[in-house]
Amino acid sequence: MGKLILSGELFKHIAASLQRALLGFSLGLAVSIPLGLLIGWFRGFERFIDPLLQTFRQTSAMALFPVFILLFGIGEISKLAIIFWSVQWPILLSTISGVKNVDPLLIKAARSMGASPLTLFHKVVLPASLPSIFTGIRLSATYSILILIAAEMMGAKSGLGYLIFDSEIRFEIGEMYAAIVTMSLVGLAINYTLVALEKRFTAWKA
């Protein structure tokens, strides 16, 4: 690990992996949170779309990787697509659950004070759903790193997954373990960053 740090190679691979993971993760957030809020708020829409969601979420991301390669090639887009597919389901399901499990007394109290549907959603439902949403976000962040490592082992020229696979091929076992440890440390850093953000946005819980 010291050799990789001094040469700067380790930081190059970390930057490549983080860039892919953050892009795929951000796309998943941008789609899953609004969709989850919509599905959780409108029960009729949930009954209509739930069978399709349950079917899609049972499909393994790694099983779809050959399909993404067929559609998008072996470059960056296929890797972003597989990360996006993996991360969206925990966020989506946690968001739906968070909206559906808001305390009914809070909603009744807000309505009794004349809150409009938009105010009710913005001031009551969304804040009360945040703890559940953040649980999904933390799970998805973990999935984004795990799936990325697997994706980088196939058809990548940079990233921690590539470094692990390339080190194994070259029998550089020390480099391989350095990459594995680095991957774990990156995952820990992301997790604790999200925990800090959750505490900040849900300070009202205390």
Summarize pLDDT for 181-195 with one digit per residue, the tens.
Answer: 998 898 888 888 888
Q: Which amino acid is at 119?
A: T
Structure-token pair, residue 133: 């949403």
Q: Are 11 and 5 in contact (CB under 8 A)?
A: yes
- Angle at the Cα of 147 from the Cα atoms of 143 and 148, rounded to 5 degrees: 115
- Give, in words, the CATH class of 2-205: mainly alpha
pLDDT of residue 177: 92
Helix (H, G, I), strand (E, B) or coil at 105: helix
Residue 149 is inside which H or E element, if any? helix 126-152
Residue 181: predicted pLDDT: 92
> CA 117, CA 34: separation in Å to the nearest integer?
16
Regions of the chain with pLDDT less than 70: 155, 205-206
pTM of the model: 0.81
- 157 Cα distance to chain centroid: 23
